[in-house]
Every structure is written in structure tokens, then in C-alpha cells.
Amino acid sequence: MQVEAYVGEEMVLNMGPQHPSTHGVLRLELETDGEIVKKVIPHIGYLHRCFEKHAENVDYPGVVPYTDRMDYVASMNNSFGYALAVEKLMKIEVNERVKTLRVIMAELNRIASHLLAVATYGMDIGTFTPFLHCFIEREKVLDLFEWTCGARLLYNYNWVGGVSHDIPDGFVEKAKQFLREFEPVLKELNELLSYNKIFINRTAAVGILAVDVALSYNVTGPNLRGSGVKWDLRKDEPYSGYEKYDFDVAVGDGRFGPLGSCWDRYFVRVWEMAESLKILHQALDHLPEGDVQEKIPKKVRPQKGECYGRSEAPRGELGYYIVSDGTGNPYRIKVKSPCFTVLSALPAMAKGALIADIIAILGSIDIVLGEIDR
């Protein structure tokens, strides 16, 4: 979009691809009048790695590492969604142990991902200390993952029909110990950051996202729940055994300002971490026995057809549209990334904001550019 000749004293400020707060390589073109931002235009594509083209040239199991690298902060959930979509296409039903393990790993990764989102959001607003407290806990989760499958960030864990590694002996005790240590940290985070007056002043009246705008932009996940819509795929279209677990859906309630503000979205994430703790307690207590690799087909060759599988990733609804032509390689995989849709709604959320507010809004929608650009 060409910026026309401007009247008055407007200045085009480029929050360029390299910036401490853009959570990746994102370029925001801001047209500012003093401190007020008149227009914000996001430019993406700096991290485009042609995942969809690569997926056409490798076989179905070979796509799993590529899916990890999209939202690299929450890899377990990406490969989870992909495995679910392919299993839906091939009509494979995995056993209970696999389902529970997948839920455990997905929820642990949800906690790790939300910790990162919350901590970096605090840093954007100016507090540096919660960042370090949150990262200590995140390290513990990453240690659990490294113990299980050898990798800290990109796991290649959820395979079509099963998982790559069964959990080692002692994993359940270690995980429960982490859960015990994590609860007081959440309380401390609330005291230090969530209910801090300055933090509330910075975030509770900013970045209001109305429900109809959110639906029109297909905003999903914590961003949509922050605007008061109680929609969570784990509860409303359960998969992989989520119907067995007892947990609440975190919804924003406009406590300190209008509904749908940055504070609501941020607090939905904090609350979701507490709910993930509940799910993890239940899943770890009732982990069935079984062979995690028994349903993995020798050759993954779905019949000709297509399907759309969606799952609740930490950042929203992750959708995989898979078209199969009957061979071992996918014919087309299209990924609907939740961050892609919420970033396109940024200009709508940023009406009348100051530059500091743009940072606050951008932090509250919690984007990861790897997923947007694929």
C-alpha cells in the first residue's frame, strides 16, 4: 500500500524486521502523528520457508519435523494437529496410552508456551523480573521433554499412529514434582505482574477486540476467549481423550476495563496455565499401559481424499487441510495458522493507539512468526 503524501506532521516509523519487541521478524509500518498511530500495516514473509512446498516432496512421516518448525515454541501441538489430521484421513484409531501421552505432552508444551508469552509480554511492558522467574519453570518443562525424546525445542514426537518415544521410568514422578513446584510460581506471577497497578493501566484499556470483529477475522484461541467467547476445541470438539478430563475454559471477563482488552487476553493465558495443571494431574494419575507404536502403519499411504483437521494449539485453532492422491507423499498440505489470522486483525485492534500501545497489543496477541510465515 503506497503511503500518500501526508498532511500535517505525520511520520512513517518502521518497526523493522529486527526489533526487540516484534516477537520474530515482523515489520510494522506505522504512520504516526506525534505519539498517536494513525495506521499500522504489518508486513510478513521474512521467515517464509515454503513448508507447504516441502511437504509435497517428502512422505507423510517426513512432514512431522517440518510441522515442528512452524510454531517453534509449541512444537508438540503442531505435530499433534498434523497426526490427528492424517489419522482422520486414514481412519486410524490409536490406543489409550498414546492418547494420554499426547495430551500430557501437549499440555506441558502449552504451559511452556504460555510462560514464554506471559514473560515476554512483561518484558515488553517494562518488567524484566517475571521473565526470569517464568523461564526457570520453562527450563524444567524443557528438561522433561529432553529426557523423553532428546530434544528441547523441536521434538518430532507425534507420529502418524503413535508417538516416537515412550516416557522413561520416573517421568510421572518428575512431572508431578514440577507441577507441585509450579503452582506457587503462578500465584507469585499474579502478585508481581497481573494485578500490578501500572501493568493494568498499560493494558486494560488498550487493544479492545470486539466479538464480531474477532469472528470476521477468524481470531481463535486465547485471543478470542479474551473477548468473552467461550469456545475451546478441547471442550467443544474433543479429540484424543480430552472429553475425559475435568477442566474449565478460561474466558476474559473485562475485570479492569472494557471486555476484550490486552489484559483480558493476557489473563486468559495465565488462567489456562492453571487449567493445564488440572489436566496434567488427571492425565498423569490415569496413564494406561500399552505399546505406543503399535498402530503406526508400515507405510503411510492414505486413500485418495482430503480432510481438514483442527486442534487447539496454545495460540489458537491450528488447522491442517490435507489432500492425498493415494501415494506416499501428500499432494497438498495447507496450514491454517492461528497467528496468521490474529495478526491480520492488528490494524483493527490498534485504532487510536499510541506507539507504546502498539507494543502492548502486539505482545498480548502472542504471535510466533514461524507459524505465520511457515
- 210 near another protein, judged by CB under 8 A: no
Among 26, 44, 160, 339, the residue binding another protein under the rule CB under 8 A is 44
H or E, element range at 15: strand 10-15
Radius of gyration (C-alpha) of the chain in whole angstroms: 21
Among 28, 76, 116, 125, the residue binding another protein under the rule CB under 8 A is 125
Nearer to another protein, 6 or 308 (CB): 308
Nearer to another protein, 130 or 290 (CB): 130
The DSSP letter of residue 192 is: I
- 317 near another protein, judged by CB under 8 A: yes
Nearer to another protein, 197 or 298 (CB): 197
DSSP assignments along 320-374, one per residue: EEEEE-SSSS-SEEEEE-HHHHHHHTHHHHTTT-BHHHHHHHHHHT---HHHHH-
Cell numbers of 132, please? 526470569
Total residues contacting another protein (rule CB under 8 A)?
Answer: 70
Cell numbers of 156, please? 518430532
Given strand 10-15, what is the order of strands in its sheet? Answer: 10-15, 27-33, 36-43
Check: CB of residue 25 under 8 Å from CB of residue 47.
yes
Minimum CB distance to another protein, residue 141 (Å): 17
Check: CB of residue 101 under 8 Å from CB of residue 167.
yes
- 138 near another protein, judged by CB under 8 A: no
Minimum CB distance to another protein, residue 190 (Å): 14
- 236 near another protein, judged by CB under 8 A: yes
Burial 309-331 (b: 16+ CB within 10 A, else e): bbbbbbbbbbbbebbbeeeebbe
Under DSSP, is residue 154 helix (H, G, I), strand (E, B) or coil?
Answer: coil
Among 72, 147, 171, 231, the residue binding another protein under the rule CB under 8 A is 231
- 171 near another protein, judged by CB under 8 A: no
Among 218, 282, 293, 329, the residue binding another protein under the rule CB under 8 A is 218
Minimum CB distance to another protein, residue 17 (Å): 12
Q: What are phi and psi of 14, to 5 degrees?
A: -105, 110
- 344 near another protein, judged by CB under 8 A: yes
Among 142, 274, 287, 356, the residue binding another protein under the rule CB under 8 A is 356
What residues does 321 pair with on adjacent strands? Answer: 308, 334
Minimum CB distance to another protein, residue 15 (Å): 9
- 306 near another protein, judged by CB under 8 A: yes
How many CB atoms are located within 10 Å of the residue 165 CB? 16
In Å, what is the CA distance from 197 to each residue of 40, 72, 92, 189, 296?
28, 33, 51, 14, 53
The span of 58-66, 111-119, 155-163, 193-201 binding another protein (CB under 8 A) equals: 193-201
Minimum CB distance to another protein, residue 160 (Å): 16
Give 207's contacts (C-beta < 8 A, 6+ positions apart): 260, 261, 262, 265, 349, 350, 353, 357, 360, 361, 364, 365
Among 133, 165, 244, 281, the residue binding another protein under the rule CB under 8 A is 133
- 321 near another protein, judged by CB under 8 A: yes
Among 89, 112, 119, 209, the residue binding another protein under the rule CB under 8 A is 89
Burial 353-368 (b: 16+ CB within 10 A, else e): bebebbbbbbbbbbbb
Nearer to another protein, 153 or 200 (CB): 200
Question: Which residues are at the interface with another protein (CB under 8 A)?
Answer: 1, 11, 13-14, 19-21, 35, 44-45, 48, 50, 52-53, 88-89, 122-129, 131-133, 136, 192-193, 196, 198-199, 201-202, 212-213, 215-218, 229, 231, 236, 305-308, 310, 317, 319, 321, 323, 325, 331-332, 334, 336, 340-341, 344-345, 348, 354-357, 359, 373-374
